[in-house]
Amino acid sequence: NKKGFIFDLDGVIVDTAKYHFLAWKKLANDLGIDFTEDQNEQLKGVSRVKSLEKILNWGGVSISEEEFLQLMDKKNTDYLSYIETMTEDEILVDVPKVLNLLKVENQGLALGSASKNARTILKKVELFDKFDSIVDGTNVTKAKPDPEVFIIAAENLEIAPEKCIVFEDSIAGIQAANAANMISIGIGQKDVLSEADYVFKDFSEISEEFITQLINKH
Ligand code: G6P
Ligand code: MG
């Protein structure tokens, strides 16, 4: 009984969500735009381009295409400086335990992230070789909540979408998993991720029995 387990990266495997937040907040504030935690929640899982579009929209600011590209560049440079010194210490609690259990159980393992920096980060935290397939922001044309990223991951794993399980910390990502007809598991707060099939605070709350049930579900 083989299932496909697809992991988002930022906020699920590593706590980079806080670095994305810092970089976006600085950019927004520099433009005189307020940036709240609530707005940040709406940017989780959302591509770089879409995120900047949303921020400018919220602030009612319009800029030239050239400036838009410069700002995207600046945000990424800031972000890269935050993650530069990242090590395996920043892997979130019990992620390696779950990955190892799934490996032992011979399950399909994929990464499904919107980030163009995903491969860099996986190498930094030494998880690059754990996945059978990596699908990231360099492989997709449509951003979450579009299901494309997860559909491609399932195709690469050669496992039907109905037999895939997605771990996500973002609203957009849960919506993408649901649209792909996959089981959606939210990592974070129940009230924020209310559209998910299940929600856990983090992987320490996910028992071996729960994983076994997912594997044996028909
Ligand atoms: C993830 C994060 C988003 C980020 C997006 C693009 O989905 O949750 O906050 O905007 O990736 O990341 P990138 O590294 O390509 O800018
Ligand atoms: Mg995420």
Is the link from the previous residue into 145 a cis peptide, with omega within 30 of 0? yes
The pLDDT of residue 22? 95
* Structure tokens given for 98: 């779950």
The pLDDT of residue 196? 98
Ligand 1, atom 16, lies closest to the CA of 48
The pLDDT of residue 115? 97
Q: Where are the alpha helices (DSSP H) in the chain?
A: 17-30, 37-43, 48-59, 65-83, 95-104, 118-124, 148-157, 171-179, 208-216
The pLDDT of residue 100? 97
Residue of 13, 113, 115, 144 best suited for mutating to test ligand 1, as the one with most atoms within 8 Å of CB: 115
Instruction: Name, in order, each residue with C-beta under 8 angstroms of 52's C-beta and a sequence gap of 6 or more.
Output: 27, 68, 71, 72, 75
Q: Indicate the pTM of the whole model.
A: 0.95
* Structure tokens given for 9: 């990266």
What pairs with residue 133 in β-bridges?
Answer: 110
Tell me how far the alpha carbon of residue 31 lies from the centroid of ligand 2, in angstroms: 25
Which ligand sits nearest to residue 115's alpha carbon?
1
Q: Catalytic residue at 169?
A: no
As separate numbers, helices (DSSP H) first and strands (DSSP E) second, the chain gives 9, 6
The pLDDT of residue 1? 85
The pLDDT of residue 104? 97
Q: Residues in the chain with pLDDT < 50?
A: none
